[in-house]
Amino acid sequence: MARPVTLFTGQWADLPLEELAEKAGAWGFDGLELACWGDHFEVDRALSEPDYIEEKRELLDRRGLVCFAVGAHLVGQAVCDPIDERHRAILPPDVWGDGEPEGVRRRAAERMKDTARAAAALGVTQVNGFTGSAIWHLLYSFPPNDFDEIERGFEDFAERWDPIVDVFDTEGVRFGLEVHPTEIAYDFVTTRRTLDAIDNRPGFGINLDPSHFAHQSLDAAAFALEFADRIYHVHVKDSRKRLDGRRSILGSHLDFGQEARGWDFVSPGHGDVDFESFVRALNRIGYRGPLSIEWEDSGMDREWGARDAVAYVRAIDFEPSAVAFDAAMQRSE
């Protein structure tokens, strides 16, 4: 049987979960990856209100939807980041607090621990998210970087996330970092350094989203093979380069969806991701979890797109072979 197809709810948090679940059920999804914002999965309420989790579960059941994973990207981002006004817009008020950076980072770390606890209460063993990064802003080495400071950035990550992963371990939940620019890991090199920094502990793995690889000219299938034992969850999302010598691959400080950008996110199958190779790599490493559509395409109606995406994913997802080929040509004796 093929893999379940789920919808990550993060980009739909303007809709009440009730409404979104009804739509997703009708579009043929097998489940939802609940975002920890909007009213989709509120960690504080999940831990404090007795019926909260049961109500969410029933809401999903009514639509025949399963929850395999929870998405905690926004709070996770604040754990390592230098904090600025942009974080205020994406954090719960009590995590933001007075906005003093180190305080924000610490409260975000605590909230991540709570997220593991809430996920466990919901019966979910996978939490996806971001880590933030103390060194992302040093991306281009001018003025020349002090590369010891880069090294300290990875150490800072490990110091902040190790205690969080302790709680994940206790709860029987695994964290999946969505490897992504602006995070501590965004490519092969930085993923290796990140996993090494945290001693390759099993509680910290990867939510693999190929859309973040294509515009960097990275091969997401090769990445799956390279980090096979840490691929804990998979997002299906796409991106598309539009390089014509006048559009920079760096994005030109333009918002997503602007015509003059060199690349943009698009609905799965409408971009550069080689999903044929990607599915084959997932098969080779034995990944059997959900394919979770993170739908984002600023040039397409999102409901048209969600339906298009679920059909696309079902068309490209196939199971590996259980038979050796030439066997059928050889006589048994």
Tell me if 222 contacts its own copies by CB under 8 A.
yes
Among 50, 93, 94, 123, binds its own copies (CB under 8 A): 93
Tell me if 142 contacts its own copies by CB under 8 A.
yes
The torsion angles phi and psi of 77, rounded to 5 degrees, stand at -55, -35
Judged by CB under 8 A, the chain residues 94 through 133 that form the site for its own copies are none
Crossing angle (nearest 10°) for helices 101-122 and 147-171: 30
Bridge pairing between strands 231-236 and 204-208? parallel
Stretch that binds its own copies, among 48-56, 89-97, 106-114, 160-168 (CB under 8 A): 89-97
- Residues 6 or more apart whose CB falls under 8 angstroms from that of 285 comprise 224, 225, 228, 231
Closer residue to its own copies, CB minimum distance, 141 or 170: 141
The torsion angles phi and psi of 258, rounded to 5 degrees, stand at -75, 135
User: Is residue 192 packed enough to be buried (19+ CB in 10 Å), middle (13-18) or exposed (0-12)?
Assistant: middle
Token pair of 95, please?
């995590």
Judged by CB under 8 A, the chain residues 252 through 311 that form the site for its own copies are 252-257, 259-260, 262, 270, 276-277, 280, 283-284, 296-302, 304-305, 308
Q: Residues in contact with its own copies, total (CB under 8 A)?
A: 101
We find the least distance from the C-beta atom of residue 172 to its own copies, in angstroms, to be 28
We find the least distance from the C-beta atom of residue 225 to its own copies, in angstroms, to be 7
We find the least distance from the C-beta atom of residue 146 to its own copies, in angstroms, to be 7
Judged by CB under 8 A, the chain residues 224 through 253 that form the site for its own copies are 225-226, 241-253
- Say which amino acid occupies 237: K
Stretch that binds its own copies, among 21-29, 120-128, 199-207, 318-326 (CB under 8 A): 318-326
Distances (CA, A) of 121 to 40, 51, 107, 197, 239: 15, 11, 21, 29, 35
Closer residue to its own copies, CB minimum distance, 26 or 260: 260
Tell me if 202 contacts its own copies by CB under 8 A.
no
Nearest Cα to 210, choosing from 278, 292, 131?
278
Among 66, 117, 150, 152, binds its own copies (CB under 8 A): 150
Tell me if 144 contacts its own copies by CB under 8 A.
yes
Judged by CB under 8 A, the chain residues 153 through 192 that form the site for its own copies are 153, 180-182, 186-190
Beta bridge pairs of residue 175: 127, 204
